[in-house]
Amino acid sequence: MPKEEELKELLNKLPDVTTEFVQPRLAEDIKHQIPHRLSPHRVGMDTINIIIDFRINKLAAAAAIIITIIFCATFLGGRDSAGGSVLQDSVLLIKYWGASVESDISAGRSKYELLLGCGEDVVWYGDSLDTKDRNAVLMQRKLADGQYEVTFVDGNEKQVNAEELVKLLTKMLKKGVK
């Protein structure tokens, strides 16, 4: 019977003798199945996510839900058995709107950290800006040609020169920083 240490040593060798060639097409197949929109919400669990899965934009999704609510309220007098789920969906919709700004900022933050890790000249404004202002500058990145790439709260990016950057930041400050 092998000793404890000997057994563990043998077990540590098992990864090398229990391996085989993995078809690279497997990775390609999996990548093709990545949904167009990855959502932290469980897909298919509620009306909102189903509508978002159809890749309708947020406003259209909101309009579709509001029309459904009005329809239910008008024709079913609010006494339908689905009344509870309509209410839940409305709450989810409100939560979703609230979360979308946060997720945009979180995506920007991740990008900022990645660029910082790569030694890029980046400045983060996300901690002190007014998140309600979708055109506020989330971060700036200095490019090799002296231009700046600015990322806004809504995720859009724009290349500007130093003068334009100062204007954007001044505008943001005037609007009021938190």
Instruction: Identify the H or E element spanning 118.
Output: none
Choice from 37, 55, 95, 175 touching another protein (CB under 8 A): 37
Among the residue ranges 67-75, 78-86, 101-109, 132-140, the one whose residues contact another protein (CB under 8 A)? 101-109
Choice from 56, 82, 114, 173 touching another protein (CB under 8 A): 114
Binding mask 118-157 for another protein (x = CB under 8 A): x---------------------------------------
Q: Are 108 and 151 in contact (CB under 8 A)?
A: yes
Q: Give the nearest distance from C-beta 56 to another protein in angstroms.
A: 16
- Of 115 and 160, which has the nearer Cβ to another protein? 115
Q: Are 139 and 125 in contact (CB under 8 A)?
A: yes
Q: Give the nearest distance from C-beta 114 to another protein in angstroms.
A: 5
- Rounded CA gap, 29 and 11, in Å? 32
- Of 107 and 177, which has the nearer Cβ to another protein? 107
Q: Which residue has the tokens 């409100």?
A: 94
Report helix, strand or coil for 80: coil
Q: Dihedral, CA atoms, 126, 107, 136, 172, nearest 10 degrees?
A: 20
CB under 8 A, 24+ apart: contacts of 114-118: 115/141
Q: Give the nearest distance from C-beta 100 to another protein in angstroms.
A: 10
Q: Give the nearest distance from C-beta 60 to another protein in angstroms.
A: 19
Choice from 36, 79, 132, 178 touching another protein (CB under 8 A): 36
How many residues does this entry show for the chain?
A: 178
Report helix, strand or coil for 134: coil
Q: Are 177 and 131 in contact (CB under 8 A)?
A: no
Residues that bind another protein (CB under 8 A): 1-2, 4, 7-8, 10-15, 17-20, 22-23, 26-27, 29-31, 33-43, 103-104, 106-107, 109-111, 113-114, 117-118
